[in-house]
Structures are given as C-alpha cells and as structure tokens.
Structure 1
C-alpha cells in the first residue's frame, strides 16, 4: 500500500477515522491511466478520488494546475470546494483550490488562465470554454489528473460526449494525465469504463463495499390511489405525517409541474405551518440558494424537489426520501434513495408513493429491482455528430489544426472509437462551409484550409460568437417571471404557457399563487394573488418514460400471479382483468376492442414507454385513417395506447405489422413538427443556429422561426444534408422512441391476442380518465359534422328541401 503522508495520516487520526479499503486502493492504483470507482453514497468516494492528488501535492513545490475536477452541477463544484478546503487547511497543505463555473466573476476567470490553482473544480461547459483559448496548452500542460464526479449522470447525455472529447484534447496537451471516474449508481460498469478510458485502452473498475441495503417500502393507504393522474394528492395526509416524524425529508417528483402542484396542496394541508420549501431548475437562482441555505442550517422539515437534488450534494441532515409517482427508472430511484442518511454503513430510508392504481404495480416492480441491485438504463450508442461539429469549432478557436491529428484525437474518445474517416470529414466539411445548400452564404463559411494543409477560422473575430454558444444543454423557450412593482425575479415559465395567459389569470410558481398582469419585453409581470384556483406553469423538465428493463419486470409480475406484495385493491383489479380478458405478456401483443359512449375503442397494451406509446398512437391513427376506420383521437401512457373512432377494428394485426408501422413512420416524420424541433436542437449544438449574439439574445420564437426556414430549405434542396441525417437519428432515438416500438415488435414477432369485449377491460378503463388526449383531424371528424348537420336539418324540418 502507498503510505499516506504524515500530515494527512494525522488528520485522519484526529477525525477518529479509518481510511476505507477503496480509498486505500485509490492510493495504491494512483498511476493507472484510467480508473472507475463505484462506491455507495456516503462512502467517501470524492475524498477517495482526491487522496492521490493530496498525497502528491502534500510536500509542496508543484507549479501549475495539477488536478481538474468535473461535475454535472455548478453547485456541486462549489460544494466540493468548501468540503475540500476545510481538510486542506486543517492539514496545512500548500494547495490552492478554486472553482470555475458560469457564476465565477470574469476577473477571476482571466486570472485562473494566467495563474491556475493546483486544483480547479468545474463543469463540462466551462471546460469546453477553457480548451477553446490559444493559451490552453500552457494552462493544461502540467495537468496530472482529471476527476469526473457523478460520471453516470454525464454519460447519459450529450454533456458526457462533449466532456470525453474535451478529455481527449486535454490528453494531447498533457500526455501524462490520468483519468478517474466516480459514481454510486452504474447499471453497466464496463460500458461506463469504456467511455472514460482513452480508446482502445482498458479502464479497471474498483468496486467498494456497497454497504447495507436501503430501507425502502411503498406507501399503502386506506384510500386506494386514483385510477389515473400523477399528482398523488390522496397521500398528502400520510406524507405530512412522515414529515413530522423525521428531521429532514426530500420529496422527489419526476417533473417540475408535478412538484409545484404537490407543494401547493401540501402547503394548503400544512395546518401546523411546518417549514417546507420547494427546489427545481425553473426557480430563480436566489430562490434556490435560499432553500439550499435553509437546508444546510437544518431549518426545513421538508423540501419538495426534482432532479436538481438528485446528485451528490450533502445539503443537510436528510433522514427520509419520498418518491412521489412511480420512479420510471430504477437507477434514478437508487440515486435518490442515497440522499437519505448520507453516511457510510447507514441504510438509506425511502418511501415510494404511487400516483395512480397502475403505478402500484410499477412501484412494487421497481422496489424489487432496487433491493436486488438490478439497475436499468438505455444504452447511449455512438458519439453524436452534432457534438463533434461543435468540438471542431472549439478546436478551431484555439488555433490552426491538422485534420489527421484531430481525427485521431476524436477517435480516442470512447463513444467515437469507431468513427469512420468519411463521417469525420462530413462534419469538418459542414463546419467549414455549411454543406452543399448553404455554402453560398458567408455566415456559414467558417473554416479555411491554408497552403500548409492546416485548418483555421476564416475570421478570427468569430471566436467570441462561437464561445457564446458553446454547450449541449438546450434551453427551453422560457421567459422570466417578475413581480410588477419590486421587479423581484421569481423564476421562469415556458413561453408557450405565457402566451396562453390573460390578465387576471393566476398560476403557480415557487409554490405561490401569482396573478398575470402582462408581458413586457419578454418578461411576465405578476402580482400576488391567492383567492383564485391557480393554473400550473408548464416547465421543460424531463418527462421520464419507464425503462425497458422495468417494463419487463412489470410484465413478469403481472403474469406471475404472485401478487402478495400488492395491496388487496390492486390484486382484486388484476384478478378481474385476468377473468374478463387476458393479462399482457412480454412475448405477445394484447389488443382489446370494446364500445364506450357510442364510440369504438381499441387499446394496445405495448408496454413501450410514454414517448413510444405516443408515437404508436400517431402511427395507428394514421394507418386507421388510410384504412377508412375514421379514428377520432387517442391517449397514451407508459403502458398502453387507447384509440377511439367511429368504426370497429375487427382485425388489428395489419395495423401493427412492422412494415406498415415503419412505412407510416417515414410518411409521418417527413412533415412533422417533431422533426423541426429536433432539427432546431441539432442545429444549436452543431453551431448552425446561434442562440446568443453579442448584445442580443435570440428569443425562442426567433430561433424556432429561423430553424424552421433552414429545415424546409435543406429538406427541399439538400435532403441528404448531414444535419438532416443527424436529426432523423435523434428523433427516432429521442422524442419519437421508435426503437422502443421496434423492441416490442421484435419480442412479440407478430403474435397478437385480439380480445373483443362488450365494455372496457379493467386495465383499459383507467385510460378513459387520462389527460393529454390527442384529437385526430380527419374523415371521422368530417363524418360526425355531416351527420350532426343532417340531424339538425331534420329536426328543423328543412331536411327534405
């Protein structure tokens, strides 16, 4: 074992601590080129990551930047700086620690480039900006270690792809640099290790003792959950009782809108005036920091929150986590559970509250998976090319480059290991010229190749605009909400929601009811108002779909008949489904047909996740329209799609055949708004569309308008354009989730169970109560109008005329 320097060993002794085995192992293996540590929340994994750095810097004499720490959250970087500075000061180590994020003052950022600290804590976006400067080789030349915290969270998005490209750039500037990844929840450690390593080099995985299993259970109430909906308001009395009996409770929600609604109703029922706060990404920074400060000080009994508190910030004495609504993702549930009892060898305590009747089944399946340690997650796939386009721009900002060298750098990033040279050249050509249909426009002529073969920016002044638009986080079209008189910033709401408001209407933000007064210069002005039932602001927070692995667990549970873990009301409901119809199975597709309110209904139990079920509804109604079945609308959940119309579906098998659905998808995608929205996102990340300009911020409407024109132009004149190819792949994998439909079709292999009923089945009945119904404008609606007109004429005596 590598011995701890005396001052560090003495500090451990004064704390009464014994170094954990995985912390010792990190010291022993400090020279590994890359190392992934998986350790439970509260297991000291962050300190484990920094111990080799502290040991190497303990004797002093090192000049320049030694260790770069990268986290997904600005607040996490600041929190780690505070937590790391204390032991460094107590050990009297000659180490300077600073953070650098979007909140860092410009003067400090300039100084850090000229005189970097020994340890710099940052985010992927700030790192991308740092490597875009010409002096980056001088700043990073001394770099010895990069620590990527909460690496699983970054690996799930394009932020992770951008980070890994940045690590390849850093490796070229600092060949001796070593990589460390830290995580508590990883469903596929080898895949994550492959992303972290410098391809094709292997990356060892260090597994810490997982500690005691979490203490998790589902809340069972005397009143059964409602048949539909996602608010779980029925459980508020029990939730308040749990809050009373614990020191600090985190109450997680899957969306910001659900968090606002629950907080509002929780506060109305809070007759004891327990101190309860709300925390999510659409609130103002001041509002979030106020709640965070109160949490650290132990002044809050509960915090209603979303994913902003998922990650490893140790805010306070949290001893209970409540998850409202089915978690949709076992890994995310485990991550959130870890927020309670943030200590090693202390079991986390959590309660899961199903929002509706079917979520009872999903919650039980998720808890079984969590107890078994079986995490889930969707594979990320190959490195996205829009991120690569942005990386080429970043590299060009730092000075001339050789395309062959950059290609090899890019291929050293795990997700891009199998990138073909033709794909790289297509990205380079797009960045240089904009592509065939756009090369005539000066604004997209950004790179030129010199006589020496080196590529460089055509106009060096473009660096400012490029740097202003770096990043892969797509902002939704939000507008600020401020008090009319005091101009106090409350947060932001989606521009589309703001456009529907009329003076005098009220809505929720930050847990308070406000009255809409008007829209002035892209700012929603409000006043306080509490005497009217509020609407809820819509936010662009993540809309989770239940993962494939969890859906399979649910299907296994439904068909096992072993329902002892389910409440009596749920067991009776499922038994009724088994008696009256069939139970959905993983290897067969259950489709039920029944009449309801003089309409023919067809319910497809595909268990493919909400996005895929929504897409299935669009494709099915399109196919039904072509077949003359006059569909009128549909509604989708994570588990099923319900379509209603004028004519009965007697043979649904042709409607759900693989070939028919794929053909329908191509027709639907070609002119769909989903494609334009996806194209806008791809265009922003790749650098085609600028979100920010000097002295000007483009509004969401302006960005959408210009991206729509670009999409239509490319679709007409350059249909094989690189960004259109990227857009199609993105849409299929993301918003449309056709891959989930494809997975369902593959496992059922055309085996369809069509059950014709005289009334809704027990599983289909709750679908009739679901919100989010999508009308179908077609021949069916026209027929209804014609029949209604004929009826009115008959009743008026004009029918014979």
Structure 2
C-alpha cells in the first residue's frame, strides 16, 4: 500500500472521513493499464476514479490535458464539475477542470483545443469530434488517464461502439494511456472489462463492498391495480401520501408519454400544493436545467421523470424512489433505486407500483431478482459496422492513414476484436467510393490513396461536413397521418416512425378513435383511408417501449411453476389459480397456446414471454400464415408476454403455424413488403455517412433524408444487392425493431413442445389482453367508469366474478 499524498490525506482528515477500501485500492492501482470498478451507487466511485488523477497532478501541475472523463449524459458532466470543484479548492490544487459537450460555446471549444485543461469532462460524441481534427495528436499529447463513467449504459448502444473506437485511437496517440471504467450495475463484469480493454490490455475488475441491501417493496395502494393499462394513475393518492412523508421523491416512468399523463393527474390531485416538477429528454434544455437547479437546492418534494435521471446525478436529498410500471429490466431498476439515499452504507429506499394486474407478478419477480443480486443482461453482439464506417471517415478528416494501421487499431477496440479484414475492407471501400453501385457519383468519392499508399480525403473541405454528421443518435421522427389524398386530406394525428415501418398496405389500425386502413408512406406522411371494419387489424400502437428482459421473463415463468404464491397479493394469486384450473400456466420449456370462442370470433393466444417487439412481430407473422391458410384473421394485440389473435375461423393445429422454418420464410416475405428495412437502412445510412443529416449552412429535414434514403435503398437493392450497407441494414433490422432473434430463441427453447389448450371461454390470463385490444379513447369523466365496467364484464366471463 502506497503512502497517501499529503494533500489528499490532509483533506480526508479535515473532513473527518476515512477512505473507503475501494477508493484506497484505486490509488494503489494507479499504474494498472485498465481497471473496472464496480461499486454501489453512493459509494464514492466517481471520487475513487479521480483520486489517482488528483494524486498525480499535485498542487502545481504543468499545463496540458492529463485526464479525460467521459459520461453518457451532458447533465452528468456539469454535475461532476461541480462536485470536483470542492475538493480541488479545499486541497488548494491549481487544477483546471472544464466540460465540453454539445452545449459548450464555440469560443470555449476553440480555446480548449489551443489550451486544454488538466481534466476535461465530455461525452462520446464530443470526443469523436475532437479526434477528427488535425491537431488531435497535440491536444491529447500528454493524456495519461481516461475515466468512463456509467460504462454499462454506454456498452448497451452504438454510442459505446463509437467510444471504444475513439479510445483505440487515443491509445495509438498515447501508448501509455490508462483506462478506468465505473459502474454500479454490472451483470457480467469480465465481459464489460473485455469491452473496455480487450487483450493485450487485460482489464482488472475491482468489486467494492455492495453495502446494505436496498429497502424495496410494492406500494400498498389500498385498491388492486386495474386489469390493463400502463399509467399507474390509480395509485396517485397513495403516491402523494408517500411524497408528503419524505424529503424528496423521484417518481420514475418507462415512457415520456406516461410521465406527462401521470404528472398532469398528480398536479390536479396535489391539493396541498407540494412543489413537484417533471423532467425528461423531450423538454427544453432550459426547462431541464431549472428542474435540476431546484433539485440541487432542495426546493422540490417530487420529480416525475424517465430515463433522463437514471444515471448518477448526485442529489443527496432524495430519500425515496417510486417506480411506476413494471421495470422490464432488473439492471435499470437497481440503477433507479440507487438514486435514493445516495450515500455509502445507507440503504436505498424504493417502492414499486404495478400499472396493471399482470405487472404485479412482474414486480414481485423483479423484487426477488434485486434481493438475489441477479442482474439481467443480454450477450453483447459485435460492434456495429455503420459506426465503423463513420469512424473511418472521421479518421480521414484528422489526416492520412494506412489501411493496415487502422485495421490493427480498430481490432484493438473491444466491440471489434472479431472484425475480419474483409469486413473492414468493405467498410473502407464504402467510405472511399460509396461502393460498387455508387462509385460513379462524385458526392460519394470521398477518399483516395496518395503516392505513399495512405488514404486521405479527396477534398479537404469535406472534413467540415463529416464533423457536422458525427454521432450515433438518430432522432425518432413523428409522421403525420392523413386521409388520402395526403395533401388535401384531413390530418388525423401522428404516429412514431417505428410503428409506421411495421405496416404493410391493407393493415388497419386505430387513431383518434377511428379505424383506418394503411395505404402507403409518401414523403413522411402516412396515407390512410377509412377502414371498413370496426376492429383494427393491429390493435395498438404504443411507440418504442422497453421489452421485458429474458432473465426477468424467466423469473416470472419460474414464479408460475413454483406454485407458492405467498409473495403475491391474494387477488393476483387467486387469478393465477383460476388460470391453472381452467387452462394451464405458461412454463419456460413449453409453449402454451390457448384457443377459445368469444362474441362470435375465434381467438388464439400464444404465451411466448419474448418481449413486446418480438410478440408484435409474432402477431404479424402468424396472421400472415393464417391468411395463407384461409383462417381469416381479423386482428391481433401484443404485450410483453403474449400475442392474442382473433378471426373468423377456428385454429385447430397451432403447432403447424409455429414451425420455425415456416415462420422464418414468412418473416422474409413480410420484411420485403413493408418499410422496416427502409427505415433501418435510413438510420444506418445516416450513421455511416451515406446520407448527411447536416450540411454546412443548413440541416436536412427528416422528409428530405427519408426521400433520398428510399431512392438509395431501391437503387442498391436493384443494382448492388451485396452492398455492405444492405448487409448492415439486415443485421440491424433483425436485432432492432422486430427482435426476430427472441422469437427464434423461444422456438429453439421449447423444441416443438406446444401445449394447445382448447377452452370453452376466455381464460383468466388472456382476459386482460382484450382490454388492450382496440381500445377507443373515450374523452371526459366517464372514461374510467366505462373501462371499469368493461373490465368487470370480462373478468366475470373468465370466472373471476
């Protein structure tokens, strides 16, 4: 154990603090090339990450950048700067700390390039931008350490791919660079270590004492939750009571829309005028900043929020977290719970509020997982190649490079260790010429080889456009829905582009209380005609929602199998017992399929527990197969755990419909007829640099980007079907919007073991799906009463009177 530098030892002594063991261990491992610290929220892990920097820099450091801190959130960099300023001032250290994000003024960015601070706090996007300048070698010349905070959050997206490519570039510029990753919620620490620093820079994992178990429970609302729905508004009186009993409460929701609706009703019910606010990513920067400042000053009693506050902003006054709606993901729940009592060895306090009756089971399973320390996480696939294409262009913007050198560098980045030379060369060829079908066009002739065999920009002026388009976050477009003809037709509302992408001509859906028929997508407008049926084929569009994780779904199924439901409220246990008596309960290694008649329709319910996106895709594929078999399907609805289909003819052999090879054939045909591939192509084409979001002097609108991407997609499909962008598009579509991989995994798991249970009436587990299906919004005070009456009728029908 090394002696503590006097300025650090004196600071801890003056505060009356003793150093946590993991903070001491970080100082002792200052020279370690790569280190991942897993420590509980409130355990001082950020300070642990910075202590070696403060020790090395000392009271009078020389000028130059020493440590780069990278965070997923701009708000987190500002928070860290505030929290670092106090110890630096109290230790009397002459250390400059600055942040650089998309919000940083241009004049300050220029000054930082000329005279970098000792510690720079930034985001993956800003790092990519800095590395794209010719003077990057000078800016980072003295860099010794890089700290990646909340690394688990970055590892789950393309932002993590972009960041690891950036770190590989930094390692080339600064061979002695040391890497540190910080996280509180890691399901597989060795895998995350390999992501941060693969061989030969093997990453050491340091795990801190997890501290006391969190104080977590379900909120007793006095009344059972409704049978369907996702807002949790039934619990507002009980939630307000908790807010009044605590200093500051964070009330998390899974979607921004639910947060807005809940906040509106909470505000109306807040007769004691408690100071409450709302915070999510769609609000303006000023609005978010005001809420953050009020929270830091202790002026708010509650904040209704979404994932924008998932990560480590340190608000010490928060003493309660309430999660409204099932968490869908244990890791995310643990992260949110950690926002309460943000102090070491103080148990976090959290309450879960299931939004509907099935979510009671999911919440109990999630609570059991948290108590068991069983975090979920899907195996991470290889790094995205559209991100690699962008990185190649950004590297060229910084100066000439040899292909062999860049390939060696890229394959030292964790997500790209398995990249083949052929895959790299295809990306390089695309970055240079646009690929075979596009090489005749000057606009995609961007790189050339010089006399020394180095790749460089064909036109140095293109560097500006490349920099303006760096980043992997592509904004979700909202598309207007209009009756044909689109220019003259009345606007009916908006739908998410992700939903529009799954439609094929002839599909009917519900908007504004009426059933409409999808005719096509024309220049960012969804063209529809009035539906001739009263029932929508695709009953619900809900935007992109979190899907229940595989691990959590397995726990729910294990809870069913156990038969000991003492942890469940009596009303939920009775519901499951009735399901077991009338039909069966789903299990992990068998697929439960129920068929039953209701109101003159034949119904098929498949309990796949594969997550919302996969169950939605399963509905699209099964109705397609049923159509081909003459079974006249009318519509379907999907949730995280089941797909319910209704039609005119009974299904007597569901196993035939669920054959894996036939479903894949149906999937291929379905993909070819809708806009999923085009939408995915557009996103990847923007990231890869084929389509520019921003051009000097103007920003391209979503309409222009979609119009040009559709033309490009059709051109490549016709003339160059082996183009690398089409390969990338297929990879991304399979694992993104449609989640077909989880359908195949589910079918592989059950291996043809399908339990078909024909039932005389709707079953207890299927009944709540009818409350999801085709719900027409009823405006006014009667809405809840009508929904309650419908629910009571259904449950009586299912034997739950």
TM-score for both structures, normalised by structure 1: 0.89
Distance 1:235 1:397 in 2: 55
Contact conserved, 1:282 with 1:539, CA < 8 A, in 2? no
Distance 1:772 1:351 in 2: 31
Partner of 2:679: 677
Contact conserved, 1:254 with 1:542, CA < 8 A, in 2? no
Distance 2:661 2:478 in 1: 40
Given candidates 742, 752, 755, the residue that maps to 1:753 is: 755
Would the alpha carbon gap of residues 263 and 665 (structure 1) be closer, same or farther in structure 2, given more than 3 Å must change? Answer: same
Partner of 1:720: 722
Equivalent residue of 1:359, what SS? helix
Contact conserved, 1:38 with 1:183, CA < 8 A, in 2? yes
Contact conserved, 2:59 with 2:95, CA < 8 A, in 1? no
Given candidates 545, 548, 561, the residue that maps to 1:546 is: 548
How much does 1:495 deviate? 8.2
Pairing of 1:470-549 with structure 2 (within 5 A) = 470-477=470-477, 543-549=545-551
Partner of 1:624: 626
Partner of 1:665: 667
Contact conserved, 2:590 with 2:755, CA < 8 A, in 1? yes
Partner of 2:355: 355
How much does 1:62 deviate? 2.7
Partner of 2:504: none
Structure 2, gaps ≥5 residues long: 480-492, 501-511, 513-523, 525-539, 777-801
Partner of 1:193: 193
Partner of 1:68: 68
Distance 2:53 2:316 in 1: 27
Contact conserved, 2:604 with 2:646, CA < 8 A, in 1? yes
Partner of 1:569: 571
Distance 1:41 1:713 in 2: 51
Equivalent residue of 1:319, what SS? strand
Partner of 1:101: 101
State whether structure 2 residue 769 is matched by structure 1 residue 767.
Answer: yes
Equivalent residue of 2:312, what SS? coil
State whether structure 2 residue 34 is matched by structure 1 residue 51.
Answer: no
Distance 2:565 2:645 in 1: 30
Contact conserved, 1:684 with 1:691, CA < 8 A, in 2? yes
Partner of 1:608: 610
Q: Once structures 1 and 2 are overlaid, which stretch shifts more, 575-584 or 212-221?
A: 212-221
Contact conserved, 2:636 with 2:773, CA < 8 A, in 1? no
State whether structure 2 residue 178 is matched by structure 1 residue 213.
Answer: no
How much does 1:221 deviate? 2.8
Pairing of 1:372-383 with structure 2 (within 5 A) = 372-383=372-383
Partner of 1:434: 434
How much does 1:200 deviate? 3.8
Partner of 2:707: 705
Stretches of 4+ aligned residues off by more than 2 angstroms: 59-63, 198-201, 493-497, 538-542, 771-774
CA displacement 1:277-328 (0-9 Å, x = unmatched): 0000001111111111111111111000000000000134100000000000
Distance 1:541 1:471 in 2: 23
Structure 1, gaps ≥5 residues long: 480-492, 501-506, 508-521, 523-537, 775-801
State whether structure 2 residue 214 is matched by structure 1 residue 235.
Answer: no
Distance 1:541 1:617 in 2: 16
Q: Once structures 1 and 2 are overlaid, which stretch shifts more, 458-467 or 664-673?
A: 664-673
TM-score for both structures, normalised by structure 2: 0.89
Partner of 2:503: none
Would the alpha carbon gap of residues 539 and 203 (structure 1) be closer, same or farther in structure 2, given more than 3 Å must change? Answer: farther
Equivalent residue of 2:456, what SS? strand
Distance 1:90 1:601 in 2: 70
RMSD after superposition:
1.9
How much does 1:135 deviate? 0.3
How much does 1:677 deviate? 1.2
How much does 1:772 deviate? 6.4
Distance 2:295 2:774 in 1: 36
Partner of 2:388: 388
Equivalent residue of 1:621, what SS? helix
Partner of 1:691: 693
Contact conserved, 2:59 with 2:92, CA < 8 A, in 1? no
CA displacement 1:117-161 (0-9 Å, x = unmatched): 111000000000000000000111110000000000101100011
Equivalent residue of 2:436, what SS? coil
Contact conserved, 2:496 with 2:543, CA < 8 A, in 1? no
Q: Once structures 1 and 2 are overlaid, which stretch shifts more, 182-191 or 376-385?
A: 376-385
Contact conserved, 2:71 with 2:124, CA < 8 A, in 1? yes
Equivalent residue of 2:553, what SS? helix
Distance 1:426 1:170 in 2: 24
Pairing of 1:88-127 with structure 2 (within 5 A) = 88-127=88-127
How much does 1:541 deviate? 8.1
Contact conserved, 1:619 with 1:665, CA < 8 A, in 2? yes
Partner of 1:579: 581
Equivalent residue of 2:752, what SS? coil
Pairing of 1:102-501 with structure 2 (within 5 A) = 102-477=102-477
How much does 1:198 deviate? 4.2
Contact conserved, 2:676 with 2:733, CA < 8 A, in 1? yes
Distance 2:329 2:2 in 1: 39
